[in-house]
Amino acid sequence: MIINLFFVILLCFSFSNINKFDSELDKAISDLYNFKLDSCIYKLSKLSEQNTKDPLIPFLEIAAKWQQILLHENHNLSYKVIYDGIDSAVPFYLEMIERYPNDPSYPLFLGSLYGLKSRIDLAQSNWVDLVISGARGYKYIDTARQIDSLYYDVYMPIGTLEYFLCRSSSSIQLIGKLFGMQSDCREAIEKLETASSHSRFSWIESRNVLSYIYLYIEGDYTKALEVSSSIANQFPGHPFFAYLKAEALVKLERYDDFEKFEKELQRFYLYGPKNQKIECYDKYMYLKALIAFQNNKFSESEKLCSQIIESYQLEFKWILGFAHFIRGKSVEILGNRNKAINDYKKAVEYLTQYPEFYEAKELLQTPISEIINSTKY
């Protein structure tokens, strides 16, 4: 009886420690997604001292430090955090994979590290390197899936990679297939939805990716608003979740709701780290340009887009591409097709992964008035 009581007490103590660790880990993740990065990094450092074998913490530490540098310094400097992180963490993960071959979490987060490397390749438009980094990560993540097909966190990186592979050129898709990757858009979205609903950790990032896909590629603005609102409302300190929600409102022409949300958007470019202010201001100006264009205020949309284009310094070029695209249509409607053509060429250059790429190519060949008259536009 005494022995049994001892084991009950020991078991309860063990679960208490596990629950406390998980609770603190959840707080660190919440800090990460609310952009309280100093607090997040501090919590992760303490947690890593308590559990040196935890598979998630090394990955989160790298992600948090990378995001911190990205908000304050030149984005090229942030790449070094990823490269150094890979160099330092890969030996740990490989050792843990060898010691615990039936634990899917170690190959998952090792593969996710290579996913961060893919993100750098995407920013630099290194498409072949993107697929190679993605394939290397995919190999480990798929190993995790084979170990446990109900380990739902694996479906976020797999779904993300497979979706953007399906939207890539046929040559890139072929390279992906050589590494065993699929390129079915619908199946990729289903995997992301599964992770969004059932995963322990990757549900947040799954909803971030889904918001982006529905908003910019699939054109399902109602779904984009639903998904982006779920994360923007839960993590009010995350500026880019807020801007996804705001753009969905604009594209649904829910201008009254946008105006109610506008102060939240302004807060992110008025206060906060230097690079956050710059990016959020450009995104805010883009939304105002989009609203002006949708309401046939073409001189205003041209002016706002020109302000974005003339001062643009962000890592990714997609907002720049959209600014050229909207300005091109605005100035052509106002009667200056020659100027519009230059903007369409820039849109084609910067928007290769977006539906507007094909619209811009068509506009290079056909005046917008003819498209409007033929009811295609």
Q: Domain residues of the chain, as ranges?
A: 273-377
Nearest CA to 319 out of 278, 377, 258, 271 is that of 278
pLDDT bracket for residue 307 (50, 70, 90): very high
Q: Residue 375: what pLDDT? A: 55
Considering the chain, what is the average pLDDT of its residues? 90
**Class of 273-377 per CATH?**
mainly alpha
Dihedral (CA of 294, 296, 298, 299) sign: negative
> Side chain identity at 246, as an amino acid letter?
A
Q: How confident is the model at residue 356, as a pLDDT?
A: 96
Give the model confidence (pLDDT) of 175-196 as tens digits.
777 777 778 999 999 999 999 9
The CA radius of gyration of the chain, in Å to the nearest whole number, is 23
| Tens digit of each residue's pLDDT (9 = 90 or more) over 191-201 | 999 999 999 99
Contacts of 92 (CB under 8 A, 6+ apart): 58
- What's the Cα-to-Cα distance from 313 to each of 7, 242, 279, 326, rounded to whole Å? 61, 21, 8, 19
Separation CA 209–CA 219 (nearest Å): 14
Q: Are 81 and 134 in contact (CB under 8 A)?
A: no
Contact present, 179 and 138 (Cβ < 8 Å):
yes
The predicted-structure confidence for 194-223, as pLDDT tens digits, reads as follows: 999 999 999 999 999 999 999 999 999 999
From the list 73, 71, 41, 70, the residue with the least C-alpha distance to 58 is: 41
* Residue 24, C-beta contacts closer than 8 angstroms, at least 6 positions apart: 43, 46, 47
Smallest Cα–Cα separation from 328: which of 310, 350, 301? 301
pLDDT band at 19 (very low <50, low <70, confident <90, very high): low
